[in-house]
């Protein structure tokens, strides 16, 4: 196995004493007791937690059904409603006047929404959906900016048993079209514009364009939230403003009691082959893990102010904005804007203003704010009062030890433990993570599995490897919040996550990992497939290649990742044009053209940073593109690999330099 860890990290940070005593999981012994309980009686453990943490309309009697593995079922004869568990439950418990959401707009305007208000808004919009014929099991695409309405829209779908599929606002018309088409969605909920960094950026035109591309005939209604009130095309009979849709609707709505396995949402994510796949999540099992991880990883308590900076377009925004914190009765910050507007002190100012106690963000944001603080000391965290913070979190990509230390010292004041949470769209919630009152921290390691998660590392035959040896990260047993299937493609689900090579019963995460030889701590070493991680966003190299070759000028393209200080990985594309290989200004022009093309096909986040032109790509004599070689070229490494099998060695020189 070629995967070996290069990380040598000896610093250890013990959990703060008050957390060891008072956290939801108080101390290592408490953690070990939970793990032992799960080891002894796996189903009994999850059944106990599902009874204690969820409100069931109809209690379940079966915990886990493995008959049709890997299509596992959890709590299958139980009935519940996710929105009831997030809203009504808290109002009934006397939290109606507690602030659920502190929404801060791009321009700094703050709106507070209580649990009672959020419930009323959710019911009203649920009724609006029903009035337009949306019913249990229907798919609804949500293409909204970070907003109270975004959360309301998701909760309203959950309330009536409709399956939402949120599409990140940075994705293009083509991406919306593909998702609507794959999901067979009946409605889209969007906004006229979104506000980011002081600018209003149109959203609705992308929806119109998506529908215009064809293949969205299932769409009956487009709901348009008027965020700015800017001019916006409305199609008679199909489009309705949010305000008109909720006008006259009751502020109560009986929840639809659904089976625990009823799909709560689809979320499209990139894989190593083909188009993005619709990861399907359940209602009961998903919510259970959202609650447990919010309580145990973040120790969310009644007086906390929780802030997860993710967008609701990603899974982190689903689990740690829309569902987890609300189902725990927490108060959370929802931010519309960007970390650098009006300046790069925005996050720190917001923590100060709202007295945030728990802060959860991505390494890429931290790295860019380190850089900003280095260039302009006025926006450094030390200029702000961050003393309210007690717990920090990181997600989406490996956090390099330097960024970890900066985060720990400069943001956390050397007193807040950092939860480096490893998980995926498919896992629904944290899988390997420290717990604040339990785990001595080692920068760069996501430490130990969440209690009940049976993670380990295997070789290519599915055999567990010794600690200290690298291999594939797998999960040995099903867990409640796991992906249920890929929408419309159960075969792909089976092949991608439960490959026969590994015996068919191990969940394959798609990451390489290693456990520390002494303490068993996990370190994630990155994807083992053709999936890139750019600023914590997953991108399939195949997807970008397909987008490139769909340009009439392009004959062939290969995409690889290369390390980038800021974004973790950067996209590097090697392109063969149908015409002559361009040079100088002409090359620059084509680079820009192709970047914009990919931006339009997928979204700006997929634009290659670096494009290189060759008369051909390096291929073996059997015609296989030598990706390993391309990765070396992208990094600017000397080519030390054997190129004797290369059919056309001369093109290596052409591909060494970035064009434009």
List of residues contacting ligand PRX (CB under 6 A):
269, 315-316, 395-398, 420-425, 446, 509-511, 524, 527, 533, 538
DSSP 370: H
Report whether 275 belongs to an annotated binding site.
no
Report whether 297 belongs to an annotated binding site.
no
DSSP H or E stretch at residue 389: none
Distance CA 515, CA 465 (A): 9
Report whether 316 belongs to an annotated binding site.
yes
Report whether 193 belongs to an annotated binding site.
no
Report whether 70 belongs to an annotated binding site.
no
Report whether 422 belongs to an annotated binding site.
yes
Which C-beta is closer to ligand PRX: that of 396 or that of 660?
396
Least distance in Å: CB of 528 to ligand PRX?
9
Which C-beta is closer to ligand PRX: that of 330 or that of 510?
510
- Looking at beta carbons, which residue is closest to ligand PRX? 425
Report whether 538 belongs to an annotated binding site.
yes
- The pair of structure tokens assigned to 2 is 């070629």
Which C-beta is closer to ligand PRX: that of 232 or that of 509?
509
Least distance in Å: CB of 420 to ligand PRX?
5
Least distance in Å: CB of 387 to ligand PRX?
26
Least distance in Å: CB of 170 to ligand PRX?
14
Report whether 112 belongs to an annotated binding site.
no
The answer to whether 639 and 650 are in contact (CB under 8 A) is no
Cα torsion 597, 602, 603, 607 to 10°: value is: -60
Least distance in Å: CB of 418 to ligand PRX?
10
Percent of the chain that is helix, strand, coil (3-state, to 5): 35, 25, 45
Strands 139-143, 73-74: parallel, antiparallel or unpaired by DSSP?
A: unpaired
Alpha-carbon dihedral sign for residues 403, 422, 47, 319: positive
- The pair of structure tokens assigned to 427 is 């896992």
Least distance in Å: CB of 310 to ligand PRX?
8
Least distance in Å: CB of 529 to ligand PRX?
9
Distance CA 524, CA 450 (A): 15
Which C-beta is closer to ligand PRX: that of 301 or that of 527?
527
Report whether 423 belongs to an annotated binding site.
yes
- β-partners of residue 359 are 307, 392
Please report where in the chains the tokens 């293009």 appear, as a residue: 172
Least distance in Å: CB of 446 to ligand PRX?
5
DSSP states of 292-353: HHHHHTS---TT-EEEE---TTSHHHIIIIIIHHHHTT-EEEEE-S-TTSS-TTHHHHHHHH
Phi, psi of 611 (to 5 degrees): -125, 130
Which C-beta is closer to ligand PRX: that of 222 or that of 290?
290
DSSP 107: T
Which C-beta is closer to ligand PRX: that of 76 or that of 511?
511
Report whether 421 belongs to an annotated binding site.
yes
The answer to whether 330 and 304 are in contact (CB under 8 A) is yes
Which C-beta is closer to ligand PRX: that of 561 or that of 608?
561
Which C-beta is closer to ligand PRX: that of 396 or that of 603?
396
DSSP states of 158-185: HHHT-EEEE--TTS-HHHHHHHHHHHT-
Annotated binding site for Mg(2+): 549, 554
Annotated binding site for ATP: 396-398, 420-425, 511, 527, 538
Annotated binding site: 196-199, 316, 396-398, 420-425, 511, 527, 535, 538, 549, 554
């Amino acid at each position: 196995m070629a995967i070996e860890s290069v990380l040598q990290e000896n610093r250890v940070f013990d959990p703060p004493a008050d957390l060891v005593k008072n956290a939801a999981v108080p101390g290592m012994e408490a953690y070990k007791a939970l793990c032992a309980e799960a080891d002894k009686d796996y189903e009994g453990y999850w059944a106990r937690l599902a009874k204690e943490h969820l409100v069931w309309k109809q209690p379940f009697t079966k915990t886990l059904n493995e008959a049709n593995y890997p299509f596992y079922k959890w709590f299958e004869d139980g009935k519940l409603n996710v929105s009831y568990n997030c809203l009504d439950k808290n109002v009934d418990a006397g939290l109606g006047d507690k602030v659920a959401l502190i929404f801060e707009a791009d321009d700094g305007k703050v709106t507070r929404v209580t649990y009672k208000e959020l419930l009323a808004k959710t019911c009203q919009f649920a009724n609006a959906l029903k009035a337009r014929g949306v019913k249990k099991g229907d798919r609804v695409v949500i293409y909204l900016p970070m907003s109270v309405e975004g959360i309301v829209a998701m909760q309203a779908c959950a309330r009536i048993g409709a399956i939402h599929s949120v599409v990140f606002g940075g994705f293009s018309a083509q991406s919306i079209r593909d998702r609507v088409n794959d999901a067979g969605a009946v409605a889209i909920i969007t906004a006229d514009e979104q506000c980011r960094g002081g600018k209003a950026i149109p959203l609705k035109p992308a929806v119109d364009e998506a529908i215009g591309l064809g293949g969205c005939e299932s769409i009956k209604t487009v709901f348009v939230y008027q965020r700015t009130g800017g001019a916006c095309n409305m199609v008679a009979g199909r489009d309705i403003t949010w305000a008109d849709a909720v006008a006259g609707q009751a502020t109560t709505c009986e929840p639809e009691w659904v089976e625990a396995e009823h799909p709560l949402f689809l979320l499209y994510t990139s894989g190593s082959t083909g188009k993005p796949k619709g990861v399907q999540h359940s209602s009961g099992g998903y919510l259970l893990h959202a609650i447990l991880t919010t309580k145990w990883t973040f120790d969310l308590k009644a007086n906390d102010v929780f802030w997860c900076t993710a967008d609701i377009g990603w899974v982190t925004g689903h689990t740690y904005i829309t569902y987890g914190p609300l189902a725990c009765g927490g108060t959370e910050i929802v931010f519309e804007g960007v970390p650098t507007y009006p300046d790069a002190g925005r996050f720190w100012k917001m923590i100060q203003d709202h007295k945030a106690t728990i802060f959860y963000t991505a390494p890429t944001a931290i790295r860019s704010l380190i850089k900003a603080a280095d260039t302009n000391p006025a926006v450094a965290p030390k200029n702000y009062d961050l003393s309210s913070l007690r717990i920090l979190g990181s997600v989406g990509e490996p956090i390099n030890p330097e960024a970890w230390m900066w985060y720990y010292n400069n943001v956390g004041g050397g007193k807040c433990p950092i939860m480096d949470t490893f998980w995926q769209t498919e896992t629904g919630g944290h899988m390997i993570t420290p717990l604040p009152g339990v785990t001595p921290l080692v920068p760069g390691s996501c430490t130990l599995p969440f209690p009940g998660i049976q993670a380990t590392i295997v070789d290519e035959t599915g055999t567990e490897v010794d600690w200290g040896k690298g291999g594939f990260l797998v999960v040995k047993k099903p867990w409640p919040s796991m992906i249920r299937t890929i929408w419309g493609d159960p075969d792909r689900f089976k092949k991608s996550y439960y490959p026969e090579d590994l015996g068919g019963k191990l969940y394959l995460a798609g990451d390489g990992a290693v456990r520390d030889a002494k303490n068993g701590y996990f370190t994630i070493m990155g994807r083992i497939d053709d999936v890139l991680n750019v600023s914590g966003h997953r991108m399939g190299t195949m997807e970008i290649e397909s987008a490139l070759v769909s340009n009439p000028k392009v004959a062939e393209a290969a995409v690889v990742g290369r390390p980038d200080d800021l974004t973790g990985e950067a996209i590097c594309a090697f392109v063969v044009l149908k015409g002559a290989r361009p040079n100088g200004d002409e090359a620059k022009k084509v680079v820009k053209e192709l970047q914009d093309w990919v931006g339009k096909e997928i979204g700006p986040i997929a634009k290659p940073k670096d494009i290189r032109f060759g008369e051909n790509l390096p291929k073996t004599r059997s015609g296989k593109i030598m990706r390993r070689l391309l990765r070396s070229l992208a990094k600017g490494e000397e080519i030390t690999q054997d190129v004797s099998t290369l059919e056309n060695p001369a093109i290596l020189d052409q591909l060494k330099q970035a064009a434009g």
